Structure 1
Amino acid sequence: MQVLATAEWQARAAKHAARVDAFVAPHLARRESRVKHPVHDFLFTYYSQRPAQLRRWHPGFGVGLAVGEDGRPEHAGLKGYTVVDGVVPVVTVDEAYVASQRPLLEALRTLLSATQGRPANFGCFGMHEWAMVYRLADDETRHADWPLRLGGEGTDAVVESHRIACSHFDAYRFFTEPARPLNTLRPTSADRPAFEQPACLHAGMDLYKHAFRLTPMIDSDLVADCFELARDIRELDMRAAPYDLRELGFEPVRVETPEGKQEYVAAQRAFAERGAPLRARLLAACERLLAVAGSAGTTAGTG
Structure 2
Amino acid sequence: MTAALAPAVLDAAAWRARRRAHEQRVEGWLIPHLARRRRGEKHPVEDFLFTYYSYRPAQLRRWHPGAGVVLRDADPADFGPDYRLVAAGVALDAAAVRARRADSARWTAALLAATARRPAQLGCFGMHEWAMVYRLSPQEVRHEAWPLRLSPQRTAEVVEERGVRCSHFDAYRFFTAPARPLNVLRPTRETQHDHEQPGCLHANMDLYKWAYKLSPLVPSELVADCFALAREIRELDMRASPYDLSELGYPPVRVETVEGRHEYVLAQRAFAERAGTLRARLLAALADVT
Scaled by the length of structure 2, the TM-score of the pair is 0.94
Q: Does 1:74 align with 2:78?
A: yes
Structure 2 counterpart of 1:83 = 84
Structure 1 counterpart of 2:155 = 155
Q: How does 1:150-229 map to 2 (within 5 A)?
A: 150-229=150-229
The amino acid of 1:82's aligned partner reads: Y
Determine if contact 2:22/2:63 at 8 Å carries over to the other structure: yes
Q: Does 1:290 align with 2:260?
A: no
Matched residue pairs, number?
A: 284
Partner of 1:145: helix, strand, or coil? coil
CA distance in 1, matches of 2:232, 2:219: 21
Determine if contact 1:73/1:91 at 8 Å carries over to the other structure: no
Deviates more, 1:102-111 or 1:206-215: 102-111
Determine if contact 1:58/1:220 at 8 Å carries over to the other structure: yes
Scaled by the length of structure 1, the TM-score of the pair is 0.90
Partner of 1:13: helix, strand, or coil? helix
RMSD: 1.4
Runs of 4+ aligned structure 1 residues displaced above 4 Å come to none
- Residue ranges of structure 2 left out of the alignment (5+ in a row): 1-6
Once the two structures are superposed, what CA deviation does each residue of 1:180-216 show, in whole Å capped at 9, x if it has no partner?
1111101101111100000000011001111000000
Q: Does 1:48 align with 2:69?
A: no
CA distance in 1, matches of 2:276, 2:168: 17
Q: CA deviation at 1:93?
A: 3.1
Q: How does 1:89-104 map to 2 (within 5 A)?
A: 89-104=89-104
Distance 1:85 1:119, change over 3 A: closer
Q: CA deviation at 1:25?
A: 1.0
Distance 1:74 1:252, change over 3 A: same
Determine if contact 1:130/1:155 at 8 Å carries over to the other structure: yes
The amino acid of 1:19's aligned partner reads: R
Structure 1 counterpart of 2:244 = 244
Q: CA deviation at 1:135?
A: 1.0
Q: Does 1:30 align with 2:31?
A: no
Structure 2 counterpart of 1:111 = 111
Partner of 1:83: helix, strand, or coil? strand
CA distance in 1, matches of 2:259, 2:183: 23
Partner of 2:139: helix, strand, or coil? helix
Q: CA deviation at 1:112?
A: 0.7
Determine if contact 1:65/1:92 at 8 Å carries over to the other structure: no
Once the two structures are superposed, what CA deviation does each residue of 1:262-284 show, in whole Å capped at 9, x if it has no partner?
01001101111111111111111
CA distance in 2, matches of 1:46, 1:221: 21
Q: Does 1:275 align with 2:289?
A: no
Partner of 2:162: helix, strand, or coil? coil
Partner of 1:186: helix, strand, or coil? coil
Partner of 1:256: helix, strand, or coil? coil
The amino acid of 2:217's aligned partner reads: M
Q: CA deviation at 1:14?
A: 0.8
Q: CA deviation at 1:9?
A: 1.6
